Chain A
Amino acid sequence: MSIGKFEHFKPRTLGDAVELLNKYGPGARVIAGGTDLMVKMRLRAVSPEVLVSLKNIPDLDTITVDPKQGLTIGATALLADVAAHPGIRKYFPAVAAAANDTANIQVRNMGTVVGNLCNASPSADNAPTLLVMGATVHIIGAKGKRELPLADFFKGPGLTALAPGEIVTAVSVPPPPPNTGVVYLSFSGRGKLDCSTVGVGALITLDAGTCKTVRVAIGACAPTPMRAPGAEKLLTGNAVDETLLRSASRKAAEETKPIDDLRASAAYRLKVVEVITYRVLTEACGIARQ
């Protein structure tokens, strides 16, 4: 089946890429792994006139891991490489796990973490973890470079804060403080390998059993991957026990705005968010205590 007619460019520098995007305007799209875009093009959901591939830009797939400085994932770094990276697995295991939870092996061998974010699906598997870790999105455009908290990046299903002609060059996360646990769990009807019905990420830092900082992020339950500030507030500064975790999980569910869709009803999503949030928080606390 045809994926349509378009022009394809393979710039060698970010500058050239930005120039091409600006030259061709709204009909131009950036492509990295293409695993989402190609499907949309095949189903004629989008029909770009120009594709600007980032894959020939040297070093854009760089991954740097530093336990002190943090983690930076380049725009064309593959999901498979993030999932398997020894440094990420050691210092940012939840980031590796979320990448490993994304789709299937073939897709992970083609798709990128940054692409997963830029696609801005509410159910993007890599978003919740990066959100709770306070990730920053690095952007380049005709006006130069800028940085944006990932929390401000998602604007709606398929919509981001990128201005026309801008490209995300990397996503970075700071190292988590000591006594911190970060966990991501996705839940879907089919078991393995499914588009998530619900995905929950949490970061919790404990100080002698008291929650010092916490961030909870939920996927597939609102137009964008979202934080749960009410639940975070309930937890912050309080001694963590089962009752508190349960009520925080309930609060998190209340904060979501799920819809009925092919994969689940809104009512079911609400229920599952509560259950999964509780499990994620419990596991994160366990790690934080270690």
Chain B
Amino acid sequence: MEKYSILGNDIPRNDARAKATGAAMYTDDMKLPGMLHGALLRSPHPHARIASIDTSRAAKLKGVKAVITGRDLPKVTFSNWRLYPATMDEYALANDRVRFIGDEVAAVAAVDRETAIEALDFIRVDYEPLPAVYDVDAAISQGAPVLHELIPNNISVNRKIEYGDIEKGFAESDYVREDVFTVHAVSHVYLEPCSSLAACDQDGRITLWTSTQTPYIVQCLLASALGMRENDVRVIKPFIGGGFGGKMELRPWEVCAAFLAKKTGFPVKFTLTREDELAFGRRRHPMKLRSKVGFKKDGTLVAKDLHILLDGGGYNSMGPTATYLAGNFGAFLYRYPSYRFLGEHVYTNKPPAGAMRGFGAPQTLFAAETQMNMVAEELGIDPIELRLKNAMVPGDELPGVATISSCGLIESIQEVAKMSDWKRKREEYKKGGGKGIGIGCYSFISGGVFNWFNTQYPFSTAEVRAFEDGTVHLLTMASDIGQGSDTALKMILAEDLGLQMEDIRITSGDTAITPQSDLGSWGSRVTLFAGRAILEASRQIKEKLYGAVSARYNLNVIYDFECKNGRVQAVGKPKYGLSFGEAVSMVQKAGRGEPLVARGSYTPRSKGMVSPAFSFGAQVAEVETDMETGKVQVKKMYTAHDCGTVINHMCVEGQLEGSIQMGLGYTLSEQFIMDGGKTLNTSLLDYKMPHAADMPESDHVCIPTYEPEGPHGAKEAGEGLVIPTAPAIGEAVYHATGYRCKDLPITPEKILKSLGKL
């Protein structure tokens, strides 16, 4: 292990002071002179043709500056999968058809919010309702209502993976089982509702401040949606109040804000309400998963056949990626000699599902890990032993998909068994006695390899500018959305240049200033991708600095150099050295004033189809169930995870603790209650995410590994941790009550029903 001076420390985050004092400006905190307020008219129908729209009365209302509909906007569809234009199926405002309750139909800009909302009541839309469909099986059956004419079977995307001889695998298996699992939709509940503020300058260029995880994607798609050139659109990411995958697309209100700003000549701001977010917002994909697995008697995995129907809602959104990734995650964690996957993304008349923390894995691995626990019981093998027998190890290959580099899965499972006193409790808690303990494992990506956005730039780029006062300026389009990436990236650079955190200024997430490009914050890509780009820029800076020191002291060419403690010096001969600022000054003088600037980039190449690196981990849950009411209380969570070199322990812990909250909600309390296409629980009173008093105790350890592809050995930390919670609690509940959940969430009612008490 390398010795670090910055990495691995509990360094408070870069922006903590601004957030602690309330000084941090989020989009809705901003105000510009003359600013107008926007409001959206949404469809009350799950599926309808729009016969006509009359906006004239709304437009005449005092204080209303503009009313627009789909007819006013360029006829351009958008979606993130630019590589496959056929998947780009969404208009900012509906043209002739609405496909879910909440589909955006018209937008108003007015002098204040009240007037804008009032104006919506004066827009007359004649809808001709169409038959609607709400579940995947009905949507793919013969004669189902068709949502998009180009997709007559409602299956907008499919993905297949197959390797090994699966038929032979099942034939040679001693034990085969097939199960169907269903998992539900949940909300991101980022605390900051979406907000966007657009201004148009005298040259017709747009600046958009928006609550986004992906400024570059928004820049490109907004330009195309408005028929503008990319460079005429500037997207600035202010402070973001969480994203979790829910803010990584171009959204209708971004298009409307920009278009209305252009049309009216005044800045326009749209801010969603919590009801908007819960009733109409993106959500995690509900899925129906049919999984068939074959094992040898001794527990050796032989074959797996997985079919998933993803309930995509009215549009593709990030569904293609979820379909793609679900197939990959289905083959992870264990060594599957043969594997077959078919994923089908299905349109239904519900709010579209999008990306959400874990992105296909919480669903797929809930099914896989629950089934693993069922197999363990059937074969009479401890669930931990069964996992250890089949666990992935470094060097494992998924043909055509990925090669595993660093992998601490076995160590994680062993560690979590030890921490939780697994063996003793597993025996001591009698099945059905109300107390239980269960395990789930996870694996996750460190960024994506597949270029679905079809970016024309490197996947991540960083610029480092060094100054003779001993400071540097780091510019990156990577987006801190609350996860702390600005802090982690500064730490990586500070370590590499031998500087302190306060020596580094960072500018991030501004498409007109930070270098092209970065695809944004999703898929746990920032630490590895932006980190590598920064190290590449830093390497170039150091080359120049080393050259300057070498020249200054007229040193033999065989000398090696280092940046350490604010100095640039010969290794082992610190007297041949200069302060960082002096060295920069030397370089600058030698270049007759040219500033010392370097740019680095990272694009994963020859890294398969999924990700350049994978993290792994295991989690044990202990529960107590009230056998009379069926209420489950999670008493303690134990987690061991392998996230490579830990950049910042405090931040990694924070990610873990937060993921337990989200995983707990996913498993036990959070769900959308739907009546057909209508979401009924649209407040945070009835959408039940866990409070502080609902949280279990938690113990955790990081398994030390070194990821060769990552910056200083680091890889994903935090997103994947949301995955194991549901299967771990599910197994613990089974141990405690005998109720086996194959249909999330686990509710007291389901438990009592299974016990015959209801």
Contacts and interface: CB of A to CB of B under 8 A. Distances in A.
Interface of A: 1-2, 43, 187, 189-195, 262-265, 267-268, 271-272, 275-276
A190 B688 contact: yes
Contacts of B117: 1-2
10 residue pairs, one from A and one from B, having the closest CB atoms: A192-B693, A275-B628, A2-B114, A190-B688, A191-B694, A268-B749, A1-B273, A190-B669, A262-B686, A262-B673
A187 B688 CA distance: 14
Contacts of A271: 629, 752, 757-758
Interface in B735-758: 747-749, 752, 757-758
Contacts of B757: 271
Given A187-B629, A271-B757, A265 B749 contact: yes
Nearest to A272: B629
Contact of B113 (A2, A193, A194, A265): A2
Interface in B235-291: 273, 275
A265 B748 CA distance: 11
B749 A263 contact: no
Contacts of B686: 195, 262-263
Nearest to B665: A190
B749 A264 contact: yes
Contacts of A43: 275
B749 A190 contact: no
A201 B688 CA distance: 25
A193 B693 contact: yes
Nearest to B673: A262
Nearest to A270: B758
Main secondary structure of the interface of A (DSSP, over half): loop
Contacts of A190: 669, 688, 690-691, 694
Nearest to A268: B749
A2 B121 CA distance: 14
A275 B690 CA distance: 24
Given A189-B748, A262-B673, A275-B629, A268 B273 contact: no
A1 B276 CA distance: 11
Contacts of A1: 113, 117, 273
Nearest to B752: A271
Given A191-B631, A263-B686, 19 more contacts: A1-B117, A2-B114, A2-B117, A187-B631, A189-B688, A189-B748, A190-B688, A190-B691, A191-B690, A193-B691, A195-B686, A262-B673, A262-B686, A265-B749, A267-B749, A268-B752, A268-B758, A271-B629, A275-B629
B669 to A, nearest CB: 5
A275 B757 CA distance: 12
Contacts of B681: 262
A195 B685 CA distance: 7
A263 B747 CA distance: 11
A268 B748 contact: yes
B555 interface: no
B633 interface: yes
B680 interface: yes
Contacts of B693: 191-193
A238 B747 CA distance: 37
A246 B195 CA distance: 54
Contact of B680 (A2, A262, A265, A272): A262
Nearest to B627: A275
